[in-house]
Amino acid sequence: MNTIPHCPDCEKQMEKGFIPDTTLLGALQATWHPDDPENAGGTFFGFKTKNRTKTVRIEESRTRKIISYRCPECGLLRSFAK
Pick between residue 15 and residue 21 the one whose CB is nearest to Zn ion. 15
Q: For Zn ion, which is the closer residue by CB, 15 or 73? A: 73
Question: Site map for Zn ion, 12-51, x if CB under 5 A?
Answer: ----------------------------------------
User: Least distance in Å: CB of 14 to Zn ion?
Assistant: 8
Which of 63, 81, 79 is CA-nearest to residue 15?
Answer: 79
Neighbours of 69 (CB within 10 A): 20
Can you say whether the dihedral through the CA atoms of 77, 66, 46, 22 is positive or negative?
negative
Q: What is the binding site for Zn ion (CB under 5 A)? A: 7, 9-10, 71, 73-74, 76
